[in-house]
Amino acid sequence: MKKWFLTSAGVVGARSLSLKPMVASRDQTNGGSGIEHTPVLVDEVLFYLDPRLGGIYVDATVGLGGHARALVERLQGDVLILGLDRDAESLELARQRLAGFGDRVRLHRENFKNLPLLLNNLGYRELDGILVDLGVSAYQLLTPDRGFSFQEDAPLDMRMDRGQKRTAADLMNELSEEELADLLFQYGEERASRRIAREIVRERQRSPITRTGHLRRVVERATHPPMPWRIHPATRTFQALRIAVNDELQGLDEFILNAVGYLRTGGRLVMISFHSLEDRIIKQKFKLLSGLCICDLPALLCKCPRQKRVEVLTKKPVEASQEEMGRNPRSRSAKLRAVQKVPFGGPPVE
C-alpha cells in the first residue's frame, strides 16, 4: 500500500523523504533524534538577508536551527542570533544543535508574533535582519504523536505549542457542519469543503474523530477521487486544520508591520511561505509598505498610506532550484520574499 506524507508542499511519497537510518554527523541531524533536518532555500536566505559582522539578527521561527546555524557559520565572528519558537520540543533540539556557538545564539520559547514584546523585554531597539520560515518542521511532521501527518495513525493533535488546549480533534468534533465547511474552504482552499464537512458530521455521530487515520478515511470517502492521486485528497483538509489550530494567519500582517519597525535603516526582512494564503498576505503587506496602493479604489477614495518604508527586493517570489527540489521535496512549495528598510519620512508615493 502506498504511504503518503502531509508536507507543507502537499503530499509526497515516503521514499522521496529518504527516511533511512541516518549515519550523518550531529550537524546534519536533528540533535540526537536521527531525523534529517534540511532547511529550505539556505543560499537564498543568506543572499537576501546579507548578514554582516557585528549584526543582530532574529530567526523568528528557529525550528531545529538550520537557518540560524547557516547564519552564524557564514559570519564566523561577532554576531548575535536571537532564535524564537513556540514549540518547546523543537526548541530543545535546536538548543542541542546550536550549543557549540555559545552566546552568539540565544533561544527563546515564544510565538514569533510576540517579537515586539520579547525585544522590549530584552532591550533591543534595532535589528539588522529578521527571518521568518512559516513552514512545519521535519520534526513535527515525522513525529507521529504530533498529529501533523496522516502517514501514520496517530492522535489528531496538530498543536505547534502543546501548552495550548485546543487540538485538531476538538475542532473536528465541536464545530458545526457550516463552520467546518467554511474552515476547509478558507484555510485549505478545498473545493469539496461542503461534501467533506457533511461526511465528517455524519461520521462523528457514529464515533468521535480523534485520530489522523480516521479523518483521512473520512475525507477519502467524501471525495472518492480516482487513483492515482497527484496529492492525497486529505492534504487540504489537514492544512486547513493545522492553520486553524495554530492561528497561523491571524496577526501575520500586523507582525510584518512591527518587524519592519524594529529594523534599522538598511535592515532586511526575509519571509518564506509554503501556501498561497500566507504568500498573499506577505505580498500585499510588502506592497503596502513600499508605498503602493493595494485597495484598487479610485485615487480620491484610496486610503492606503502611500509612504515608502521598504524597498521590495524580490519582484517575484524566489523559489527553490530544481537541484534543491530533488534532494529536499519540502522546498517545492517554498516561496521567499524580502524587503529592505529605507529612510522613512519622504513625500507620498504618487
78 to 55, 75, 94, 104, 190: CA distances (angstroms): 8, 8, 20, 8, 48
Q: How far is CA 220 from the centre of its chain?
A: 26
Q: Per the structure block, which three cell numbers stand in for 280?
A: 498573499
Q: What is the mean pLDDT of residues 244-266?
A: 96
pLDDT higher than 80, residue 92: yes
CA distances from 175 to 5, 169, 215 (A): 26, 10, 15
pLDDT at 107 over 50: yes
Given a contact cutoff of 8 angstroms between Cβ atoms, the answer to whether 38 and 124 are in contact is no
pLDDT, residue 303, reads: 82
Selected residue with higher pLDDT from 100 and 16: 100
pLDDT for 6 equals: 38
CB-based contact 209:218 (threshold 8 Å): yes
CATH topology of domain 165-245: DNA polymerase; domain 1 (1.10.150)
Comparing 35 with 318, the larger pLDDT belongs to 318
Which pLDDT score, from 0 to 100, does residue 2 have? Answer: 37
pLDDT above 50: residue 12: no
Residues 86 and 90: their CA atoms lie apart, in Å, by 8
Domains of the chain by residue range = 4-139+250-341, 165-245
- Look up the CATH number of domain 4-139+250-341: 3.40.50.150
Q: Which of 79, 88, 96 has the alpha carbon at shortest distance from 37? A: 96
pLDDT at 44 over 50: yes
pLDDT digits (tens, 9 = 90+) for 296-348: 788 778 888 888 999 999 999 999 999 999 998 889 999 999 999 999 755 45
Give the confidence band of 95 by pLDDT, cuts at 50, 70, 90: very high
Chain segment 265-297, per-residue pLDDT in tens: 999 999 999 999 999 999 999 999 999 888 878
Three cell numbers, residue 318: 524566489
* Per-chain mean pLDDT for the chain: 88
| Cell of residue 257, nine digits | 508591520
- Give kind and range of the element (H or E) at residue 13: strand 10-13
β-strand pairing of 310-312 with 335-341: antiparallel
| Same fold: 4-139+250-341 with 165-245 | no
pLDDT of 17: 31
Top pLDDT among 225 and 255 is at 255
Task: Give the mean pLDDT of 94-105.
Answer: 95
Residue 23 in this model has a pLDDT that exceeds 50: no
pLDDT given for residue 41 in this prediction: 97
Q: What percent of the chain clears pLDDT 90, i.e. is strictly above it?
A: 75
Which set of grid coordinates corresponds to residue 84? 524564537
pLDDT tens digits for 153-185?
999 999 999 999 999 999 999 999 999 999 999
Q: How far is CA 212 from the centre of its chain?
A: 21
**Burial letters 136-174, b for 16+ CB under 10 A, else e:** bbbbbbbbeebbbbbbeebebbbbbeeeeeebbbebbee
Global confidence as pTM: 0.87
